[in-house]
Each structure stands twice: as C-alpha cells, then as structure tokens.
Amino acid sequence: MNFGQNDSPNEKKPGGDRPKTNFWTPLIIALALVLLFGWIYNMVSNSQYTETSYTDFRTAMEQNQLAEVQYRGNRVYYLTREEAAKPAAQQRACYTGMPGGDWLTVSNELVANGVKVEEQIQEDNSMILMVLYYGITFAILFMFMRTLTKRMSGDGMMGGFGKSKAKVYMEKQTGVTFKDVAGQDEAKESLKEIIDFLHNPQRYTEIGAKLPKGALLVGSPGTGKTLLAKAVAGEADVPFFSISGSDFVEMFVGMGASRVRDLFQQAAKVAPCIIFIDEIDAVGRSRDNRYGSNSEQEQTLNQLLSEIDGFEPSKGIVCLAATNRPEILDKALLRPGRFDRRIIVDRPNYQGRLDTLKVHTRKIKLSEDVDLKKIAQATAGAVGADLANLVNEAALRAVRMGRKAVNQEDLLVSFETVIAGTEKKNTVLTEMEKRLVAYHEVGHALVSALEKHAQPVSKITIVPHTSGALGYTMYLPEEEKFLSTRQELEVELKSLVGGRAAEQLVFGVQTTGASNDLQRATSLARNMVSQYGMSSDLGLMTTATTQNSYLDGTPYMDCSQDTAARVDMEVKKLLDTAFDSALAILKENRALLDEVSEYLLLKETITGEELMAYVNAAREPKEAPVEETAEEAVTEENKEE
C-alpha cells in the first residue's frame, strides 16, 4: 500500500496536528499571580496593625497615652501605654498616615513628653530591590506557566497523564524481520496472513473474509513473542504502535481508560496500522474475585473492549497482544470478534533450536570444529533467549581465553555454565567428601548406563560449581522425544535415587547431597500418580490440575484429603521401589562401581565414552576353564604312567 503522500518532511505524525501554544495566556496568568502574591503579602503584613485616623493619633499624643512611635515611609506606627502594659504576644499596634511636613514638629513634641521615637529612613535602593524581587518572581512564574501550557496543549491533559505512551515504529525502523526469528514457523505463518491482509485486502474481501481484529501471542517467557511483534513491524509497511499493558495503569483514576482512547484515536488517523500490547495480562486480568481486581483496572479493560468493538475491520486496524498467563485473561477479551485468534509461541524443537543457533551465531566468528547440531541436541527444552545467552557466554569465554573465534568447547562449557554455574576453584573438599561425591555421581551414571530406556550419560564431574552442586552428571539425549512411557519414567526415578543408593551401599550413610535429586524424584513420582494415571491404586484418576502452564507449571491438588493421603502413599511406594531396584543394580555391579569411582577421583571429570568403556568391558564374557570329565582324567593318568 502506497504511503508516498506522507513521506515528505512535513508529514503529519500519528496523533494529528498540535495546536500552537498561546503566548499571552501564560503571561497574563503569571502577572495575575504576582499581583495576587503582592496583595496577599500586604494583607498579611498589615493584619498585625490596627488602622486609625490621624486625629486619633493626635488625641492620644496630646493626652500623653503613647508609649512607642515609629515613623516609616509616610506612616506612623504607634503603641499606646495601655497596649504596652500587656504581654508582648497580646500587644496590638496602630498605624495612620502622616503628612510629610508635620513629622519634625510631632517628633520633637513626642521626645519632650518622654515617648520612645524611632525613625526608619527608606534607602534609595529599596525600590530597585523590590522591582527585582517582583520581576524575578514574575519571570519564574511565566516560564513555569509557559511550559505547563505547552504540555497541556500537546498531551491533551495536564502532565500527559491521559496521553498514550505507545512507541510508534514506521516501516522497518525496528531493524527486525522474520529472517531474524527462527523456530516459530507456525506463528510466523499466522502473522504473515495478517500482514498480507493489510497489504492486499481485496484478495480476502472478494471472497467475503473479514480481517481478524485481534491476535493473542501465547508462550513461555523467552520464546520470542515480543521479537515476533517487532518482526511484524519490520515486515509491514504500515505504522506499528507498541505499548506495554502496565503503561495503561496509573495512580490516577481514569488515566488508563483515557490512554486507551488516545491510543486508538492515534491509530484511526493513520490506519491501516498494527497495535501491539505487550504483557496484556496487566490490564486484561479477569474481573472476577478469584485473582482480585480494582475499579481502575476494570475501567481500563472496559474501555479496551469497547474500543476494539468500535472500529470496523475495513479500517485495517489489527491488535496484537502477548502474554504468558492466558488462563487469567478476562473471557470477554477472548470472545470471537476481539482477541479470538490465539497464536502459540512454543518452545522450539530440535530443528527450531538449530535454526535459532544459526541466527544467533551469524555475527559470531566460529572455528571449524563447531557442530551446532550437537548443541541443539543437548539443549532440549531451551527457548530462544536461553540459546542467545548461551552463544553470548561462549563468545565471552573465547575472548577470556585469548582466542579470535568460538570453538565447540566454548559452547559446551557455556551450556554447562547455564546449568550448573561456573566452577568454584577455591572450594576444597576433604578426601572423604570427594569420595562421597564421586560414588554419588557414579551411582547416578551406572544405573542409567546399565538400564534400558535411559538417556545416555554425557559427562560426570566432581568439581564444585557456583550453583551449589559439588558435582553433577549430565545426560545427552540421542533424539528429541515428546512422549515418555512408564518404563522410561521408572528408569529415570532409579537414576535419580541412584546417588543415595551408592552412598548407603558403600559408606552406610545418608548425606545432604541428595536433596535436589530427591526433590526431583518426588515431583516426578507425584506427577506419575496425580497427572499421568500411572498409579496401581488410583488407576486412571487424576488428582492435580496445572496452573500457569507457560510459567512454572506448578500443579495443585484438586481432590479430597483422603485421596491426597492415598496419593502420598503411592508416591512413597514408587520411590521405595525405585530405590530398592537401584540398590540391587549397584550391589550386583559393586566392582564396576568401585573401579569407575576411583577413576573419577583421579581425573575429577570423565566423559560418557569413558564410562561406557568400563561398562562394556565389564559386560564382556570371560573365558571359563573347561572342566575335565572322569574318562579324560583316567586317560591322562594312564598316559603319565
């Protein structure tokens, strides 16, 4: 769509023409304020005196009733003897005008009567100081009022509180296109359709199709929802308004609704355009009492709903929104005709992670030994932000090591840094602690290596790391799987408790090092019972429901207390069975456990290939001695004789 008519330097910005600021308005207001301040000052300064006539002053002087007299300017301030006898806080002085030629005669007479007389001569520069004082005050007020009126005329409300804070991107100013987004092919297809509708609406209107008013980007943090929206701005040749849901919420009542109105007014003036609301759950939260609510948030949401309903699809205004908490959004926001299209921005699969790594390493110098396929295979479950951080950490490590390019080791070490943190080189373990950690980690690895349906071990280390781990066992899946069988989960349980089983078998102790393993094992066993229907007692009944599936995904129990107790018993049974099985495996292969552990103590870090070399050597059948029969023994004896 051609916008050439608006490409001139004098193009109108979204929001329309701004009225010119009036010069006389702040000038008149500042002058009125200065006069008002002067009048108030005179009123306050004179309020402590009582005004009288000159005749009353002469009468009091002739009757010798004056105690103190002060001549200031053209006025006489006096205090009678009756007032002077009162406490200082209760004294009330009087003042009256004094003709210029009478003061000399009056002052001589007052001195003769013993009255205290004081004369304050007005300095020549007092008038100049007063003019400067009022002039500076006027200038400050004028500048303040001029700035305030500019903001009021430009923003529509005082301070711009009712003005939308949306950032406006024109054409490709974001610098991001769909080429910069990898691993989200399905989401890009849905967004490309919206962009195509804006560019070629006649293709859809000919068949009777209507442009969807809103689309909701839903996914876990770091999957690239905001990046996708910026890519839309880079691909579309229409104005793109970007705003966060929290920008609508203010401490002043009604400001959120005002900003919603202003945002859609700006969008209507430059339509066709795209409006993107990031973290819409900040303003679109459900209005029921389950999650709590307030009147300001409800007013803002109601205004947003009415604005979305207020424009016609033919205008070409499309609303995009992003959230990772779709379950708390108001149902009215998701009904058909509003944000009825949901675009899932999920965690990337293997190919998506590989493409994402290629995008993030385009500007990184890589050595020839780099194999991004192995990194993509090792980072199952990682999102785009994780992969970007991994590549950046690898580049930083290459610089620290003094290399000009990133190699495979940098990427693998960075991946381990993200998982377990950096190595703690100053941590010194006792000999007993090192042996405990070594047998613990080898216990994990051996159970996995000797069982079917287990993930292959990639690395075993007993070097302490900053995450708090004194050692860890890393697994590298051979292929990406989206389903797990009960046998695979049971093997994973055995592997998780294998470290505790090795401690108890070899040393007869239980240490705190297995705490994280037991937490993960308990969580897995509980999920098997409460969500996967893998319980021998409860059968197919599920007893837990997952909340915030795009965040932590923590389930909560949705059953009676009696059923919850039965779930706990089933979880304990699964853990006990897994522990007994792991203990039996290690007892059967005790010599292999000792051999690999001693090797790990010697090297501190071994690979999965080294582990499997020991395991395969132990599995090879040894040549058994051939037993001689009785007849063969007799024959041998005859030969000897």
Which residue is it, tokens 């490409």?
7
Please check whether residue 513 is in contact with residue 472, taking contact to mean a CB–CB distance below 8 angstroms.
Answer: no
Rounded CA-CA distance 576/578 in Å is 5
Rounded CA-CA distance 496/575 in Å is 10
Is 441 assigned a catalytic role? yes
Strands 457-461 and 472-475, bridge-based pairing: antiparallel
Rounded CA-CA distance 233/231 in Å is 5
Rounded CA-CA distance 343/321 in Å is 10
Which residue from 347, 291, 284 is spatially nearest to 551, judged by alpha carbons?
A: 347
Rounded CA-CA distance 240/72 in Å is 70
User: CB atoms < 10 A from the CB of 445, how many?
Assistant: 30
Q: Give bridge partners of residue 344 from the DSSP assignment.
A: 218
- DSSP assignment string, 186-233: HHHHHHHHHHHHHH-HHHHHTTT----SEEEEE--TTSSHHHHHHHHH
Convert 581-604 to b/e letters by CB count within 10 Å (16 or more is b). Answer: bbbebbeebeebbeebbebbbeee
Amino acid at 608: G
Please check whether residue 244 is in contact with residue 288, taking contact to mean a CB–CB distance below 8 angstroms.
Answer: no
Burial tier of 228 (Cβ tally within 10 Å: 0-12, 13-18, 19+) = buried
- Among the listed residues 68, 235, 296, 441, the single catalytic one is 441
Burial tier of 629 (Cβ tally within 10 Å: 0-12, 13-18, 19+) = exposed
Catalytic annotation, residues: 441
